[in-house]
Amino acid sequence: MLLALALVLLAATSSSAQGPATAKRPSVNLSVLGLASIHPVDDAYVGGPYLDRGLGGVGPGAAVMVDLVGPTGPTLAVEFSAANVDVFQTGRLVGGQDTGAGGATGRLRDPMLSILGGFTFGRTTTTTVVVGPGYVDAVPTQDGERIDRFDDPAVEEGAGQIAVGGGLHSRRALGHRVSLVASARYARVPRSLRAQELGVSPHVFRLGLGLSLRLGG
C-alpha cells in the first residue's frame, strides 16, 4: 500500500507543474480510503516501575472525504477519519502495580472530523494541499473503558477537542468519474496529562489509499 501511495504522490508532484486545476464548473468528489495511522510514542514516563511501554504505534483505519474543487483550483474538503492502535501496558501508571504485573490494553482511535481549505493543482493527475482545524475525541481507553471516566484532575489538564493539521492528497484518473486517490495527513492533537502519562503523543500521521468518485455532471 505504501509503495502505491509513493508512486501516486510522485506522479502527482510532477503533474502539479501543469499549474492550477481548470474546469468550466466546480467539481465535487467523494473519496473512501484505507489508512495506516501512525501514532509516535511519548516516552517521557516510560521506564522503571511506572510504565513498560508507551501507547502508540501503527494501526489500521479508514477515512471518508468530500471535497469541492473550484474552476481555478480553490478547494474545500470535509473529512472524517478514525483508526485503531492497541498496546498492552503494565506499570504503576496503568494499574497501580509495578511493570510486568497486571496491566491493561490501551487503545487509541482518535476519530476526527476536519474542515480543510486549500488549493488543487494539475489536470489528469491532481495534487491538493489543504490545512485546517478538526474536532477530535482524543481520549484513550484501557480495557475498553475511557480514561476520563473518573473524576481525576489529570484527565482535564491539557485536554482539548480541537486539533490543527493538514497535508495533501493526489488523484489519478482511472476513468471518466473514478480516480485512484492517495493522501498524507498530519494533525497535532491535544492530550491530557493522564494521556501523556500513558505515553500518548500529540502527533498523528495518517497515510491513505483508496478510490474517489466525481459526483454530478
Residue 185 has pLDDT above 50, yes or no: yes
Helix (H, G, I), strand (E, B) or coil at 1: coil
pTM listed for this prediction = 0.86
Quickly state the pLDDT bin for 15 (edges 50, 70, 90). Answer: very low
In the chain, where the domains are located: 2-203
What's the CA gap between 46 and 41, in Å, rounded?
10
* Average pLDDT for the chain: 88
pLDDT at 23: 56
Per-residue pLDDT of 69-123, as tens digits, reads 998 899 999 999 999 999 999 999 998 888 888 899 999 999 999 999 999 998 7
Asked whether the beta carbons of 45 and 4 are under 8 A apart, the reply is no
Q: Does residue 66 carry a pLDDT above 80? A: yes
The burial of 213, by beta-carbon neighbours within 10 Å (0-12 exposed, 13-18 middle, 19 or more buried), is given as middle
93: number of CA atoms within 13 Å, CB side?
26
The per-residue pLDDT for 205 is 98
131-142 tens-digit pLDDT: 999 999 999 999
